[in-house]
Amino acid sequence: MTEGVFDRDSGHEQVVFCQDPPTGLRAIIAVHSTVLGPALGGVRFHPYGSEQHALDDALALSAGMSYKNALAQLDLGGGKAVIIGDPAAKSEALLRAYGRFVQSLGGRYITACDVGTNVGDMDLIARESEFVVGRSADSGGADDPSGLTAYGVYLGMRAAAEHVWGTTELRGRTVGVAGVGKVGRILVGHLVDAGARVVVTDVSESAVQRVRAQHAELEVAADTAALVASDLDVYAPCALGGALSEEVAETLRATVVCGSANNQLTHAGVGRRLHERGIWFAPDYLVNSGGVIQVSEERHGFDHQRATRRVEAIFDSTGDVFALADREAVPPVTAAGRLAERRMTDIGRLRGIMTS
């Protein structure tokens, strides 16, 4: 029997199924928590194999956003939306229909870009809803957040290096980047500038060719399995989630894992196994929060310098997580969860006092 939403004890406040037959819209909006504020998270447009798969993704991603926004010191909760379908076939009418559903939630959920959506899509959605961020600069938004997302991952990697090797320097370190789309490609640039030896792979040959055109010195692995099994200092998963499976946890030869992909661990046991093997995993929702920090700034009038300063705090936050992991003898992902839950509890208690 398939497990229902109420059976999971996931803590979600609200899950909304949205359908508009004339446009073909089939979407799920998952609001995990509004304890810290409105639930902010992107909308993923993906050809899911089933509604169950789409629901699973929405629930997992929205919970991750609660932790991400809490650790980023944002007064925002966690939410996520998924649209079932081929993003190549999306239409203005479908996106605007989705926008009407977002608007109907009255601000409990704020939508943004994710896999399969872009700033142009957000501009269309914003024609039906005021609760949209990640819009284009021409529409008063912050534009594509890939740059600050990649910068935050790079800072998290430097913090991990300091914890493990006693220096923030990545010069001479071998870093494997799996996935060189928008964020991964920018991350590669930071790593090359830092003097790292970079090995890349991607299921898209054109993506590999594009990044090699910018950085001819890059090495290319045959596939992700070959990259994971190679001699690496740092492994950076920058594609879709689920990159860290039980098999990867046993075969990975890197000392640090730090990448931009969401929901990298297939389950919590993988994080424990990595830690048992002496591999330091920088939690994805901590180090990849640069993008959500950028788009959240739109709500106050976007200023790139201010957003960059807030992203730079990822370095210190990553160090705090690793230090707590050491003190409490737990994997970093457990330490990160405790810090996020502590902030949600503390601020939620204060808000309860103020409104009681």
Beta bridge partners of 281: 257
Is the CB of residue 254 less than 8 Å from the CB of residue 232? Answer: yes
Catalytic residue of the set 68, 80, 90, 182: 80
Tokens of 126: 């914003």
80 is catalytic: yes
Residues catalogued as catalytic: 80
